[in-house]
Amino acid sequence: MLKQSQYLIPTLREVPADAEIASHKLLLRAGLARQLASGVYTYMPLALRTLHKIQAIVREEMNRAGAQELLMPTLQPAELWQLSGRWDAYGPELMRLDDRHDRQFALGPTHEEVITSLVRDEVNSYKKLPLNLYQIQTKFRDEVRPRFGLIRCREFIMKDAYSFDTSWEGLENNFQAMFDAYSRIFTRVGLNFRAVEADAGTIGGTGTYEFMALCEIGEDTIAYSTEGDYAANLEKAEVVYKGKTQPDLNVPPMEKIHTPATRTIEQLTNALQIEAKQIIKSLVLRVDDKLVIVLIRGDHELNEVKVKNHYDATHVSMASEEEIRNLVKAPAGFVGPVGLPADVEIIADNFVQDVQDGVVGANEVDYHLRHVKPGRDFQVKAYGDFRNIMEGDESPTGKGTIAFARGVEVGHVFKLGTKYSQALGATYLDENGRSQPMIMGCYGIGISRTLAAVIEQNNDENGIIWPVSVAPFHVHVIPVNAKVEEQRTASEEITAMLTEAGIEVLYDDRPERAGVKFKDADLIGLPLRITVSDKVQDGLVEIKVRRSGETFEVNRTELVPFIQELLAKL
């Protein structure tokens, strides 16, 4: 019998000063987690029970999808990371140490290198493929700014899986199996989530979805369609351009105008009394080793990832003030596409074509040009989709329009292809005895972050509201006055009876006032509370549903089936 008086649940009355978001506050206030160092937490007994339940659900669904669990080391030799090129590329987020023999190791933030070298050494034939291997493990990433409690940590728990196939169709099967398993997992743990198309990022690969728990504190913007299930990350969401919608206008000749100290879109619209969409912004970007001018309509936002993908580049960033001056002889804010040397490369977002009578920088301090018409007054090398999607834009699926939501990434499914198998030599012999690189996918779930996301989505002003599937216990049994023999005895009998029936019970035997116990119960947030008062003399106890606040008066003799039914419904 788990008696609360003996159990380490150090609840707090005060809201910790450094906690900004609900889940962080509640993890601390409900005694679930304690910080040891920035982004490094101890999981207290209640939280660990929930983590184990999340892990059990993850294992069930991974095994059901045909994946096999193993456990790889945290210490990873630098040599492996040098083979993949990530020893340098990963940067300061990779935690590193030297052992007593001055050999360098990384603390694993992810395990592509290790699993690829393992499978390279152990699997040589197509007969042993496909293979999907996963682990649940503590990971390390030296975040520049750990924050939001368990949302962005330096030490955290992940499930990571890696699939190995002989064909892209095989990868597609494994990928789909993982996508489906993830959907089941996040549904079972009680998250409101969306699978969101995302860019593959630095890990490489060609197809990727993020599973986002929807919450306002999310650091990522999700663009979703008001109809259908389309959703994508802002950086990924495609903007559909269907060609010019207006007839070709007769635009007056281009004209230079004096616009002193007018560098921003806002300053321009004020000074010239025009709308932002009449302006064509000229942004100078460094794309790997060259400088490129990208034109974007004044009311739109540049999407650097789309530019990066257009050029198949490794790095894209805004050019420095100096680089800009060298290129166009004018400072940022006055750059424009007109009259530049032929070797300056200009690309433009599709929607720039809709600006027929535009304003652009004159490549001269304090001057702009107006009545500028694309095609007439300047040429571009290519039009394309280089802007962020906006709320109200048409959905790429053609159904509905785009709305924004914010989310926390709790899962990620990637098609890696042959990036790591080629770098590390993970090949197999095909049916014809030819050596081929394995085709890989990788699939991650942030276990400890999922715990935080569940709390972030399931709480009210009084505390946590646990979904039954991952609640540390199902039922909180509370005698109104533990000093009254009859209430105490009844509480213990009820606890024993429910436990016998497989229901997990926390029994609050503390000699505290009822108000204190109820406050703690709401804060800890178990799905059901059973209050044992003087009415127990008549055989009656009160059940309160944490989420809805509903109460029921139930006879002790009918308690077990009543509770089972309630839990099944929640």
**Span from 89-97, 283-291, 391-399, 562-570 in contact with a copy of itself (CB under 8 A):** 89-97
569 contributes a contact to a copy of itself by CB under 8 A: no
273 dihedral zone (left: phi>0; alpha: psi -120 to 50; beta): left
Which residues is 178 bridged to in the sheet?
none
Question: Hey, how many other C-beta atoms are within 10 angstroms of the C-beta on 521?
Answer: 23
Measured from the CB atom, is 74 or 462 closer to a copy of itself? 74
Rounded-to-integer distance, Cα 486 and Cα 54, Å = 37
- Long-range own/partner contacts, residues 426-432 (CB < 8 A, 24 or more apart): 426/116, 426/117, 426/119, 426/120, 426/164, 427/120, 428/123, 428/124, 428/125, 428/126, 428/128, 428/129, 428/166, 429/124, 429/125, 429/126, 430/126, 430/166, 431/126
CB of 55 to a copy of itself, least distance (A): 11
Measured from the CB atom, is 38 or 537 closer to a copy of itself? 38
Rounded-to-integer distance, Cα 412 and Cα 211, Å = 6
211 contributes a contact to a copy of itself by CB under 8 A: no
Residue 376 is given by DSSP the state T
100 contributes a contact to a copy of itself by CB under 8 A: yes
Span 125-184, contacts to a copy of itself by CB under 8 A: 127-128, 131, 133, 138, 140, 142, 144, 154-155
220 contributes a contact to a copy of itself by CB under 8 A: no
Measured from the CB atom, is 39 or 411 closer to a copy of itself? 39
**Span from 88-96, 289-297, 325-333, 454-462 in contact with a copy of itself (CB under 8 A):** 88-96
DSSP-derived 3-state class of residue 148 = coil
64 contributes a contact to a copy of itself by CB under 8 A: no
291 contributes a contact to a copy of itself by CB under 8 A: no
In the block, which residue shows the tokens 């690189």?
437
Q: What is the 3-state secondary structure (H, E, C) of 440-458?
A: EEEEEEEHHHHHHHHHHHC
282 contributes a contact to a copy of itself by CB under 8 A: no
496 contributes a contact to a copy of itself by CB under 8 A: no
92 contributes a contact to a copy of itself by CB under 8 A: yes
DSSP-derived 3-state class of residue 181 = helix
Count residues binding a copy of itself (CB under 8 A).
53
CB of 508 to a copy of itself, least distance (A): 14
CB of 447 to a copy of itself, least distance (A): 11
310 contributes a contact to a copy of itself by CB under 8 A: no
DSSP-derived 3-state class of residue 50 = helix
The secondary structure of 11-45 as a DSSP string is --SSPPTT--SHHHHHHHHTTSEEEEETTEEEEPH
Q: Which of 16, 60, 83, 123 binds a copy of itself (CB under 8 A)?
A: 123
Q: Which of 24, 27, 61, 77 binds a copy of itself (CB under 8 A)?
A: 77
Measured from the CB atom, is 96 or 310 closer to a copy of itself? 96
Please, what is the end-to-end C-alpha distance for the chain in angstroms? 24
- What count of Cα atoms within 13 Å lies in the side-chain half-sphere of residue 534? 0
Measured from the CB atom, is 183 or 481 closer to a copy of itself? 481
Annotate each residue in 14-43 with x if it binds a copy of itself (CB under 8 A) or - if it does not, as one string: -----------------x--x-xx--xxxx
Phi, psi of 97 (to 5 degrees): -150, 160
Our CA angle for 5, 6, 9, nearest 5°, is: 75
Measured from the CB atom, is 10 or 539 closer to a copy of itself? 10
Site residues, a copy of itself (CB under 8 A): 5-8, 10, 31, 34, 36-37, 40-45, 48, 51, 66, 68-77, 92-93, 95-97, 99-100, 103, 105, 107, 114, 118, 121-123, 127-128, 131, 133, 138, 140, 142, 144, 154-155
